[in-house]
Amino acid sequence: MSRRPAQGVCVCVCVCVSPGDMEVDILEFRVPEENNKTLFVWGLQPSHPEGHVYESLYGVFSSFGPLYLLKVCRNAPLHPPGFYALVKFYSAAQASRAQRQTDGCSLIQSTPLKVKLSSKQTPHSSSNSTKPLSHARCVELANHCLGFNGWTSDIIRLEELPSDEDEEEEEGGGAKRRTLRFGCLMQLSFPRHGKTSRAAAVVEDTFTCTGPDVLLDQRRKLQRLVREKALVRAFSAVLLVVLGNGKVMVEVKQTPDQSLPEQIEGLLQVNQFTPEEEEDHEEEWDLTVS
């Protein structure tokens, strides 16, 4: 557990469904931050270890749809012993259905649980999250909804790019500061749906080079990072349309990256990324519910 209609991009999804499939939900490869995708669970008894509680809750709530996040914590010292949990879905419809069907049920214990939707007030400026999912979460969500054979990724171009910085010898030794930059152009394909998404990325890092092994390891690291970053950007244009009968359709938003030429020079125009950047974000615990 992140992909969203970007500002200035018009997205139109046309889906033909039968009367029995009228419920339609759209999943995006972005961090879900909306209140209607977050559930809070209270009343978890301390009769089982925390790990057991986590596994049991995951089994219950993941049956409603893919989860971005599940956290189990012990109650505060001034409260009765036990646990509470935060459950975050990618889908508002699935979160709502899970809340209706689990609130007041015992589920994993003999006493009933309280399950409520979050009513935390989200600032208008951040109501539409633009935080991308991490590479691992993109793959996890795609595999869950489309199956392991439902999508493929292909590297169109992967190349080491010129660096603006020259080598600088450090004082007191022969080690040198090196800057490496790699660019990657990636294509994401959904063969069963006839859809593709293309995106590019550039990564750069400056490090102390003490020998050829260090340089080789750094090249390998950046090549992996730039592939993952390009794939994340390709997933960001993908919409998963989930019908009421569980069928999943794929749509792709038209963004500037979709029309990139195959020449690597275009990579210099995309956002750059350094290995220190984090793509997963810690959740804020605001226990406000409706």
Whether the domain at 32-118 and the domain at 135-273 fall into the same CATH topology: no
> Among 54-58, 75-79, 86-90, which stretch is predicted with the lowest mean pLDDT?
75-79
pLDDT of residue 62: 94
The domain defined by 135-273 folds into Enolase-like; domain 1 (3.30.390)
Q: What pLDDT digit, counting tens, does each position of 80-132 carry? A: 899 999 999 999 989 999 999 999 999 899 999 999 998 765 554 444 557 89
Phi, psi at residue 98, to the nearest 5°?
-65, -40
d(CA 74, CA 84): 6
Average pLDDT, integer, range 42-51: 92
pLDDT at site 246: 80
What pLDDT score was predicted for residue 23?
72
The CATH number assigned to the domain with range 32-118 reads 3.30.70.330
* Residue type (1 letter), 148: F
Q: Which amino acid is at 58?
A: Y
Mean pLDDT estimate for the chain: 80
Instruction: List the chain domain ranges.
Output: 32-118, 135-273
- Long-range pairs of 207-211 with CB within 8 A, sequence gap ≥ 24: 207/177, 207/178, 207/180, 208/170, 208/175, 208/176, 208/177, 208/178, 209/167, 209/175, 209/176, 209/177, 209/178, 210/175
Tokens (6 digits) for 250: 């794929």
Give the amino acid at 171: E
Q: Give mean pLDDT, residues 17-43.
A: 81
Tell me the per-residue pLDDT of 127-152, one tens digit each, with 9 for 90 and over. Answer: 455 789 999 999 999 999 999 899 99
pLDDT at position 11: 43
pTM of the complete model = 0.77
Can you give the pLDDT at residue 148? 87
- Tell me, rounded to whole angstroms, the distance of Cα 240 from its chain centroid: 13
Q: How far apart are CA 200 and CA 184, in angstroms?
A: 6
236-281: pLDDT as tens digits: 999 999 887 888 999 998 765 444 444 454 444 444 455 555 445 4
Integer Cα distance of 165 and 75 in angstroms: 52
What's residue 113's pLDDT? 94
Percentage with pLDDT > 90 across the chain: 57
pLDDT of residue 168: 58
Average pLDDT score over residue span 199-225: 92
Across 179-190, average pLDDT: 94
Tell me what percent of the residues of the chain surpass a pLDDT of 70: 73
Residues 6+ apart with CB under 8 A from 123: none
Confidence of residue 286 (pLDDT cuts 50, 70, 90): low
The residue count for the chain? 290
pLDDT band, very low/low/confident/very high, at 78 (cuts 50, 70, 90): confident
Residue 6: pLDDT above 80? no
* pLDDT value of residue 243: 85
Q: Is-contact 41 176, C-beta < 8 A? A: no
The pLDDT score that the predictor gives to residue 186 is: 94
179 burial via Cβ count (<10 Å: 0-12, 13-18, 19+): middle
Give the contacts of 20 (CB within 8 A, at least 6 positions apart).
Answer: 244, 245
